[in-house]
A and B are shown apart, each in its own frame.
Chain A
Amino acid sequence: MTAIILVYLESDGVALRKPALEGLGAAAALAASLGGEVHGVVTGAGAAAVAQSAAGCGAKTIHVVVGGSVATSLPSPHGRAVAAVSKEIGATLILFPATVRGRDLLGLVAGRLGAGAAADATGIEVAGGVVRVTRPVYAGKAIQVIDVKATPFCIGLRPNSFPAVAAGGAAAAIVSHAAPDAAASDATVKESKVPEKKTVDLTEAAIVVSGGRGLKGPEHFHLVEELAAALGGVVGASRAVVDAGWRPHGEQVGQTGKTVSPKLYVAVGISGAIQHLAGMSSAKCIVAINKDAEAPIFKIADYGIVGDAFEIVPALVAALRAAKN
């Protein structure tokens, strides 16, 4: 199969997000083993400028869809736009980041094209011309391996699991497409509350520092925030502290929260319940700080310190700041 690989390039309206570069990296590897070409697609506000910034990242063509129906933040018109580009170029594989946005579009595009789908892949390989996808299931308690049997096929890529493409390649052609027609079924946004400060999405952060009930109260979470800042990471939380209202649900890591795969995950005052592990056990390195030497979190941690977070975290923050200077 000569592959025509289309990568959905997620942006924040201004710049490409890191998972987009990982998508292009995965696409380049696939094109190298299958033979074929890589395309990118950017939709919505700022798409033209974003496409320019991706021009040297291995794609032959970058497709841009702006204005009209894709001016909305709602996913459906963006899904129709990606599906239309896929059809036009005869895409065989369509790659999405397994971010909040990417997961949404993957389902819509696959549904519209009648395509198959594998979400949240942590590995893709090609064996005898067949594309083989590896993905964690049952909250990381098992690994599923599937072979792609029919194309087109949509694959979601777990952030931090594929090497990002190197910039500096040949410039891609940039092709503009008309936005898809509005549909009678389109929903409309009546009101929208955007958070004041936009942080990196937990799922794509390279470093995550999470706090749990061991912090004793929301007033102590500044310890976790300071440690995250000192490491250049993002704050996460256990469900216990989210349910208690100390932290927003968007920060919850675990089976009923976010799944993260960072380079470094630090768990502070988190016991390591199985539902929490479900969301972070694929981190490359896990550090646990807990006063109970028997806490289950130490069973999966790569490095552990037993002791009081109120003593250890400030010392660690100070040492990290000192190490930086």
Chain B
Amino acid sequence: MHAVICMKRVPDTTANVKPLANGRGIESQGVEFIISTYDEMAIERAIQLQEAKVVTKTTVLCLGPKDATKELRKALALGVDEAVHLVEDREFRDPSSTAECLAAALRDLKADLVFCGWKAIDDDSAVVGGMLAEKLGFSYASFVVKLDAAAGAKSVTVHREVEGATEVVEMPLPALVTVQKGLAEPRFASLKGIMASKKKPLAEKPPGGAENASDLVALRPPPARPAGRMLGQGAAAVPELVRVLRDEVHVL
């Protein structure tokens, strides 16, 4: 079973993200980039399954700028076998074009099991996983918090968590899952892993020519919230809060 993790490089959650003055992107100076949170959980589960001899090969796939080499090497250091880097050649790439490029790469890789995050924590789209499943014709389960399979099996069993309900789902291979928190706790790379990662294959490729279906008009800072008002200290401030909720916020 060949497991492929789609991994996006994103700004750290605590990064001070600022749109560029020209509105074409964000200032990258001083911004720390990381593997998107859910993709990191996916990597961990794929490695665990390989250690359990269920998965026979792991590959990490990333469409991203040249600098994403760092995150790809990190995935290799964690234990993934190989990396494929579609080196971004556009200022703006929209979700459908992203999915088209990734789908082509996944076909080439002959993936049996594809992991995506349920969303990337930068664009918060939560669409690429579903798009890929349909483009590839794979079975699909979203918000997966548990994934198990037997070596050589033709299916995987997953638990998905949706709005308080838990479903146990059997997915025929090839399959694509989107990862929700709970699937696995990422490990830290070991020194041995870091040394080994330097010799692992990392293939760089052009992403392909899939068109964008949308144009980026602008990226701008969010509108400033009007300055807040302190209503006072302790329970003494409660009557004023009730008045505000009734007369200004109109929720009572």
Taking beta carbons and an 8 Å cutoff, which residues of A are in contact with B? 73-76, 79, 100-101, 103-112, 114-120, 132-133, 136-150, 153, 156, 183-195, 198-199, 201, 206-207, 231-232, 248-250, 255-256, 259, 263-264, 274-275, 278, 281, 284-287, 298-308, 311-312, 315-316, 319-320, 323-324
Residues of B with C-beta under 8 A to A118:
95, 214
Expressed in whole angstroms, the minimum distance between the Cβ of B160 and any Cβ of chain A is 9
Other-chain contact of B14, A105, A186, A274 (Cβ < 8 Å): A274
Expressed in whole angstroms, the minimum distance between the Cβ of A90 and any Cβ of chain B is 17
A111 pairs with B217, CB closer than 8 A: no
* Distance between Cα atoms of A184 and B228 in the complex (Å): 56
Give chain B interface residues in 176-235, CB to chain A under 8 Å.
181-182, 211-223, 225-226, 228-235
Name 29 A/B residue pairs within 8 A (Cβ), A-sorted: A75-B140, A103-B127, A109-B134, A110-B127, A111-B131, A120-B126, A132-B217, A137-B124, A138-B26, A141-B222, A142-B219, A149-B213, A189-B168, A195-B165, A232-B251, A249-B182, A250-B161, A250-B164, A256-B37, A256-B121, A259-B124, A286-B225, A298-B228, A303-B229, A305-B232, A305-B234, A305-B241, A307-B233, A307-B237
A106 pairs with B127, CB closer than 8 A: yes
A263 pairs with B251, CB closer than 8 A: yes
Report B83-127 CB contacts with A as 1/0, cut-off 8 Å. Answer: 000000000001110011000000000000000000001111111
Does B13 belong to the interface (CB within 8 Å)?
Answer: yes
Residues of B with C-beta under 8 A to A206:
251
Give chain B interface residues in 126-142, CB to chain A under 8 Å.
126-135, 137-142
Expressed in whole angstroms, the minimum distance between the Cβ of B33 and any Cβ of chain A is 12
A307 pairs with B139, CB closer than 8 A: no
B220 pairs with A145, CB closer than 8 A: yes
A117 pairs with B216, CB closer than 8 A: no
Expressed in whole angstroms, the minimum distance between the Cβ of A106 and any Cβ of chain B is 6
Q: Which of B1-9, B44-52, B65-73, B242-250 contacts A (4 or more CB under 8 A)?
A: B242-250
* Distance between Cα atoms of A316 and B235 in the complex (Å): 8
Does B17 belong to the interface (CB within 8 Å)?
Answer: yes
Other-chain contact of A119, B95, B122, B251 (Cβ < 8 Å): B95
A304-B231, A312-B234 provided; 14 other pairs, C-beta below 8 A? A74-B167, A75-B130, A107-B128, A108-B134, A116-B213, A117-B95, A119-B125, A120-B126, A142-B222, A148-B213, A187-B139, A194-B164, A201-B163, A286-B225
Expressed in whole angstroms, the minimum distance between the Cβ of A96 and any Cβ of chain B is 10
Does B162 belong to the interface (CB within 8 Å)?
Answer: yes
Does B30 belong to the interface (CB within 8 Å)?
Answer: no
* Distance between Cα atoms of A308 and B234 in the complex (Å): 6
A111 pairs with B130, CB closer than 8 A: yes
Q: What is the interface size of chain B, counting residues whose CB is below 8 A from a CB of the partner?
A: 86
B215 pairs with A320, CB closer than 8 A: no
Interface of B is mostly: mixed
Residues of B with C-beta under 8 A to A315:
235, 238
Interface of A is mostly: mixed
Does B157 belong to the interface (CB within 8 Å)?
Answer: yes
* Distance between Cα atoms of A137 and B19 in the complex (Å): 11
Taking beta carbons and an 8 Å cutoff, which residues of B are in contact with A? 11, 13-14, 17-19, 26, 37, 94-96, 99-100, 121-135, 137-143, 157, 161-172, 174-175, 181-182, 211-223, 225-226, 228-235, 237-239, 241-242, 244-246, 249, 251-252
A255 pairs with B218, CB closer than 8 A: no
Residues of B with C-beta under 8 A to A108:
130-131, 133-134, 140
Residues of A with C-beta under 8 A to B100:
114
* Distance between Cα atoms of A264 and B252 in the complex (Å): 11
Nearest-CB residue, chain B, relative to A322: B242
Nearest-CB residue, chain B, relative to A274: B14
Expressed in whole angstroms, the minimum distance between the Cβ of B11 and any Cβ of chain A is 7
Residues of B with C-beta under 8 A to A263:
249, 251
* Distance between Cα atoms of A123 and B244 in the complex (Å): 27
Residues of B with C-beta under 8 A to A105:
130
Residues of B with C-beta under 8 A to A306:
230, 232-234
B237 pairs with A184, CB closer than 8 A: no
A146 pairs with B216, CB closer than 8 A: yes
B170 pairs with A190, CB closer than 8 A: yes
Residues of A with C-beta under 8 A to B213:
115-117, 148-150, 153
